[in-house]
């Protein structure tokens, strides 16, 4: 039986912090399912399809499956037959919110475990929203975005009203 985990998020866009978590999870699991949340009530800077394409590009060579979901994560977990959710933590503030979510998810699906992985110190301050803001104003995002998608992200942020 293959060991599989689900790494859910908005990934709007994927950052080097996200990629670090994925790479490290790929050493522990046979397959990492990166599940992009499609929230019809919230307009992202990048479309779900663009985010999925960027994740595929950034994760080439890794045992990663990229998909999307809408609705409850626990419903997605049941649909896919997976029972491990992986969440990255940058700071104590992340833990507080993630702890609450893990407890609620446990009530909804006790068979699903949530595992937390601490980000590396050099990625602790990186977030997609900060990347969007820096990029929208023409700032250098190269240290925050996987090199394989940097130009795509940079051009998109300059040409779209994502954060301004």
Active site members: 18, 42, 90, 128
Residue 48 makes CB contacts below 8 A (sequence gap 6+) with 36, 38, 68
Provide the 3-class DSSP secondary structure of residue 30.
coil
Pair of tokens at residue 36: 């992009």
Helix intervals (H) in the chain: 16-26, 48-58, 73-80, 92-108, 128-136, 150-159
Backbone angles phi, psi at 154, to 5 degrees: -60, -50
């Amino acid at each position: 039986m293959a060991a599989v985990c689900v790494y859910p998020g908005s990934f709007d866009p994927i950052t080097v912090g996200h990629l670090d978590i994925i790479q490290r999870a790929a050493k522990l699991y046979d397959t990492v399912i990166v599940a992009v949340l499609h929230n019809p009530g919230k307009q992202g800077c990048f479309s779900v399809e663009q985010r999925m394409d960027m994740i595929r590009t950034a994760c080439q060579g890794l045992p990663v499956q990229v998909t999307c979901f809408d609705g409850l994560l626990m419903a997605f977990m049941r649909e896919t037959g997976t029972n491990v959710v992986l969440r990255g933590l940058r700071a104590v503030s992340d833990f507080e919110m993630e702890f609450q979510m893990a407890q609620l998810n446990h009530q909804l699906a006790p068979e699903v475990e949530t595992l937390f992985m601490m980000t590396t110190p050099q990625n602790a301050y990186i977030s997609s929203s900060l990347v969007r803001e820096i990029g929208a104003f023409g700032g250098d995002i190269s240290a925050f975005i996987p090199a394989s998608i940097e130009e795509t992200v940079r051009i998109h942020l300059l040409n779209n009203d994502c954060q301004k």
